Chain A
Amino acid sequence: MTVLLEIRDLVVSVVQDGPDMPVVKGISYTVNKNEILCVVGESGSGKSVTAHALMGLLPEGELRISSGEIRYRDRNLAELTPKEWTNLRGKSFGMVFQEPMTALNPIMRIGRQVDEVLERHTDLDASARRARVLELFRDVLLPDPERLIDSYPFQLSGGQRQRVVIAMALALEPDILIADEPTTALDVTTQAQILTLIKDIQSRMGIGVIFITHDFGVVAEIADRIVVMRHGEVVELGTADDVLNRPSHPYTRKLIASVPHLPEGKAVAAPTQPLMVVSKLMKTFGLDGGRRVVALNDISLNIEQGETLGLVGESGSGKSTLGRTLIGLIHPDSGSVRIEGQELVGLSSRDWRQHRKQIQMVFQDPYASLNPRHKIVEAVAQGPIAFGENRAKALKDARDLLELVGLGGDSGDRYPHQFSGGQRQRVGIARALALKPRLLIADEAVSALDVSIQAQVLDLLKQISGQFDLSVLFITHDLRVAAQICDRIAVMRQGELVELARASDVFYRPQHEYTRRLIDSIPGKQWSKPDFAEDVLVQEI
């Protein structure tokens, strides 16, 4: 096994006056030839900063390497000048970024963007370069390279764009490919294809891949060796088999325990009254240029009293449109939504107000969904106050609710920026509960959170839905998360409801071909998670 790259006691610090503030605290790991090394960690663990340091891409004037070595071909990269970096990058290292749309120049043909790399670093003439670009496009399995070479990024799908970015990273045949969350922005079926592609290219070219991710499913899918990082330190390092199945560090155990597991199959609840009846709901968006998108095509479903219904689909499936239509933020073209027999479609905004209390929403982005200038207790109390509740009483109830979601003490008097993402999402849940709704719509409510926090917020949702006899419509792109807390799951694709059944049935006996494809695409499904005692799940947010 040949060591390609060695990181030795690397420390990266914030550039500032006064005491040293390391964000990466003396980490060491090696990358071998012909392997995929997965660097796993939650946000703020320093995994991306390390990768940027490897590429010499630390933001100047903000972060710097304060000590340690990066050994590559008998050179210490930490000491290179910017000019030497430019030569080394591309030739020795290729990088794939998280968001393929922003990694490509939107107004340049994609063939030319790859061609530019070749033009700068090689002596090939124009026709040879074009041939090489076509070859690269074939390598990354882009369909019809001759036609695609003259397309613009916006004409491609997200997965195709990521393939272009990978082609660009491979253009100069680098020794090491660094991929920073390359599939996080992609749909699960596309993610599965890109993971296969990276694995395939790696073994074909025999290069080393550093794959940065937060998702243990993805890790289980492709890793040869694993580095687990936390707070700028390496907590565990080992072969994929060891780390995944016999993790030694408590943090790794906790992370793995937080990975959403397969549904056990909840007990069948006694049939109840449907709380909400949706029938034949239609919505078409007319886009500029006459293109029309059918977001909701004849959707009919019931939400039972007290059940948690999962709504799963990829981006563009219409799942968020459905959630927003049910809550009155979007007006449907036709169809009917009834809550306890009351028709909601076609109500004026004044009449809607009567029903506001019954349906509430938890938003996706815990940073954007709280007014930065209001104390959180006010944010929670605003709803009841708007409905005529006495101010002092509303504030007191708000504090009780915050206590219930785990934010007791004086935290009510603090502002949103003083809280972490998970805590803010708890505030969002408390705010939704303040009006004592019957139905809670959670739109990707945990997607923006780290996996260990995700598990805690899911537990909270599960607990309160039981406590308040609440129906929950849980909208998510992640079938694993849905399977974990939902009684029934509805699968949507391109505005249509393709399957609606009990969670365990959807998971183990999918009826529709698309559902099967979604389940097959779940990363790391062949890995059966080791079962840990509950004690590793320490509540700490």
Chain B
Amino acid sequence: MMNFFHAFRRNKGGLVGLVVIGLVILLALIASWIYPDSPWDTINAPYLPPMEEGALLGTDTLGRDIASGIAHGARITLMLAAVSTAVSVIVGITLGAIAGFYGGKVDQVVGGVIELFQTIPSFFLAVVLVAILTPSIGTVISAIALVSWPPLARLVRAEFMSMKHREFVQAAMLSGQSNARIILTQILPNSLSPVIVSGSLMVASAILLESALSFLGLGDPNAMTWGYIIGASRSVLRDAWWMSVFPGVAILITVLALNLIGEALNDALNPKLARKRSH
């Protein structure tokens, strides 16, 4: 474990990413303290450019404060991304583990489902799902989770297929341990590294997916998200750049930070690969 932290610390990008994500989470936590009013309230004149009349990042077409929207949006966006990733990780690991461990017919069924999902462009599937199920936080989460689990399940499946034939797993079978026990205590802990790495990258892509849905007006109508702010002001992009640019920057640096963390995790968990790359 100490080695892991040591290796992680050596990666500057990972540290920067961690700090940025920490700041975004902090912003989300203190949003209602620094901006007690609802982000939907018109508290100022519309079309105010940044730094005027107390509006740090300006106001939008209806006079809502952009900075307040970004702070409150951080909450929803991070929550949505975290929950949907958690759901898809659980689904992906479970199905991937079962398919990889048992093989045969079970594997054919799960593999077929995974391939089915991978032939459909995931973003359009998410759009269609949310449109049919009427947009709400719940449906957005399920749509994102539903389109993101297949790649993870594939990864876990492959790990399990190779681990299953390792001698220590066979030794566990011979010592009479139950299949569930072998999956949970023997194989899973040894195949978590790639799951952790791809999990951190999945949070990033969930943020992008959620923002894109909100941009199209398919987010929860009661939730202020970064994507919604950009979507609402896209028609006045040339007259009032600040309305789209600031939430856009928020998305950019958050996703970038998560990618940096993912990369650092990868290096720390696969030290051999990382050392090779640095040569």
Which residues on A are within 8 Å of B, measured CB to CB? Answer: 61, 327, 329, 353, 356-357, 359-361, 363-365, 368-374, 379, 382-383, 386-387, 428, 431, 434-435
Contacts and interface: CB of A to CB of B under 8 A. Distances in A.
B277 to A, nearest CB: 13
Given A371-B186, A372-B190, A373-B189, A382 B167 contact: no
B97 to A, nearest CB: 16
Contacts of A356: 174-176
13 contacts: A329-B174, A356-B175, A356-B176, A363-B171, A368-B167, A370-B171, A371-B168, A371-B190, A373-B190, A379-B168, A431-B171, A431-B175, A435-B175
Contact of A369 (B168, B173, B181): B168
A511 B166 CA distance: 38
Contacts of A359: 174
A366 to B, nearest CB: 9
A426 to B, nearest CB: 14
A61 B278 CA distance: 11
B178 interface: yes
B171 A361 contact: yes
B238 interface: no
Interface in B155-201: 166-168, 170-178, 181, 185-186, 189-190
B177 A382 contact: yes
B174 A368 contact: no
Residue of B166, B175, B181, B279 with most partner-chain A CB within 10 A: B175
A327 B174 contact: yes
B168 A370 contact: yes
Interface string B217-237: 000000000000000000000
A364 B170 CA distance: 12
Contact of A386 (B178, B190, B279): B178
Interface in B201-226: none
Contacts of A373: 189-190
Contacts of A428: 171
A361 B168 CA distance: 11
Cβ-closest 5 pairs across A and B: A383-B175, A369-B167, A363-B167, A356-B176, A386-B177
Contacts of B185: 374
A365 B165 CA distance: 13
B116 to A, nearest CB: 26
B150 to A, nearest CB: 27
Given A363-B167, A368-B167, A371-B186, A387 B176 contact: yes
Nearest to A381: B175
A383 B176 contact: yes
A370 B190 CA distance: 12
Given A371-B186, A373-B189, A357 B168 contact: no
B176 A365 contact: no
Nearest to B279: A61
B176 A435 contact: yes
Contact of A434 (B167, B175, B186, B190): B175
Nearest to A370: B168
Contacts of B190: 371-373
Nearest to A328: B174
A361 B174 contact: yes
B177 A368 contact: no
Contacts of A363: 167, 170-171
A217 to B, nearest CB: 28
Contacts of B175: 356, 360, 382-383, 386, 431, 434-435
Contacts of B170: 329, 361, 363, 369
Given A382-B177, A386-B177, A364 B167 contact: yes
A373 to B, nearest CB: 5
Contacts of A329: 170, 173-174
Contacts of A372: 190
Nearest to A367: B167
A368 B176 CA distance: 19
A311 to B, nearest CB: 18
Nearest to B189: A373
Nearest to A359: B174
A371 B185 CA distance: 10
Interface in B115-137: none
A369 B186 CA distance: 11
A433 B174 CA distance: 12
Nearest to B166: A368
Contacts of A434: 175
A363 B166 CA distance: 10
A37 B234 CA distance: 80
Residue of B167, B172, B174 with most partner-chain A CB within 10 A: B174
B132 to A, nearest CB: 44
Contacts of A383: 175-177
B181 A360 contact: no
A386 B168 contact: no
A364 B166 CA distance: 11
A360 B174 CA distance: 7
Contacts of B186: 371
A524 to B, nearest CB: 31
A372 B192 CA distance: 13
A306 B166 CA distance: 30
Contacts of A327: 174
Given A359-B174, A365-B167, 20 more contacts: A356-B176, A360-B175, A363-B167, A363-B171, A364-B167, A369-B167, A369-B171, A370-B168, A370-B171, A371-B168, A372-B190, A382-B177, A383-B175, A386-B177, A386-B178, A386-B181, A428-B171, A431-B171, A431-B175, A435-B175
Nearest to B179: A349
Contacts of B176: 353, 356-357, 383, 386-387, 435
Contacts of A371: 168, 172, 186, 190
Residue of B176, B177, B189 with most partner-chain A CB within 10 A: B176
Residue of B167, B172, B189, B279 with most partner-chain A CB within 10 A: B167
Contacts of A364: 167
Residue of A327, A369, A372 with most partner-chain B CB within 10 A: A369
A396 B175 CA distance: 17
Nearest to A371: B168
A373 B190 CA distance: 7
A357 B177 CA distance: 11
A372 B166 CA distance: 12
A104 B115 CA distance: 37
Contacts of B166: 368
A387 to B, nearest CB: 5
Contacts of B173: 329
A373 B193 CA distance: 13
A368 B168 contact: yes
A31 B279 CA distance: 35
A357 B176 CA distance: 8
A100 B190 CA distance: 32
Given A372-B190, A373-B189, A382 B172 contact: yes
